[in-house]
Amino acid sequence: MIKSPPQAEPRGKVQDASETERDSMVLVSFSGDMDKLFAVLSIATAAASMGIEVSIFSTFWGISALRRKRTYRGKSVLQRAMNFLLPSRAGRLPLSRRNLFGAGPVFFRHLMKTQRVPDVEELVRVAQEAGVRFIVCAMSMSLMGLTQEELVDGIEMGGAATCVNAMAKSKSSLFI
């Protein structure tokens, strides 16, 4: 007859990981294309609605979704040129494919409107209301000649270290 080893008595409730740490997600938004930014914001709002803590780190072209206006004063010639080439706000973003000289986004936005799907600007507002944290890369802002006043309200500034720190603490990270 084989005897099983003695069992240790539990010394209190053992907590599983879901009870000791909060679910979190970091999305790195690099693309300035409407369809890719739509994906970033759709994932972020879905995760936030499930109680997941979400941070979006926007860098380079991904910053375009968070612009509300264009300014030129106090900028170098190169920064003014870059500012001119970037979409002035989310409603002017191109598609990653089938842009059709600007007709693609118009067609896509029309489809979204007829199907009652929120556009990128509305998804930014919804995400902010859901508690999604928006962080913009300070170095990208500086290189592209963008200022805080050109962005929608409620956007934090941070660097790569801010992004890496958030990613190290999160359960999942996506680069889009």
CATH number at residue 104: 3.40.1260.10
- H helix and E strand count, the chain: 7, 5
Residue 2: the pLDDT is 53
Residue 3 has pLDDT above 70, yes or no: no
Question: In terms of pLDDT, which residue wins out, 93 or 147?
Answer: 147
Residue 127, domain member (yes or no): yes
Question: In terms of pLDDT, which residue wins out, 58 or 109?
Answer: 58
Residue 162: both structure tokens together:
């801010």
Residue-range definition of the domain harbouring residue 145: 23-175
Residue 16, domain member (yes or no): no
Residue 112, domain member (yes or no): yes
Start-to-end CA span in the chain (Å): 60
Residue 106: the pLDDT is 78
Residue 86: the pLDDT is 84
Structure-token match 């934090």, residue found:
156
Residue 5, domain member (yes or no): no
| pLDDT tier for residue 13 given thresholds of 50, 70 and 90 | very low
CA distance 151 to 68: 5
Q: Mean pLDDT across the stretch 163-170?
A: 94
Residue 57: both structure tokens together:
């780190």
Reported as a single tens digit per residue, the pLDDT across 104-132 is 777 888 888 899 999 999 999 999 999 99
Residue 110, domain member (yes or no): yes
Residue 1: the pLDDT is 53
Residue 169, domain member (yes or no): yes
Residue 14, domain member (yes or no): no
Residue 8, domain member (yes or no): no
Number of domains present in the structure of the chain: 1
| pLDDT tier for residue 20 given thresholds of 50, 70 and 90 | very low
| pLDDT tier for residue 87 given thresholds of 50, 70 and 90 | confident
Mean of all residue pLDDT scores within the chain: 85
Q: What DSSP character marks residue 171?
A: S
Q: Mean pLDDT across the stretch 49-73?
A: 92
Residue 15 has pLDDT above 50, yes or no: no
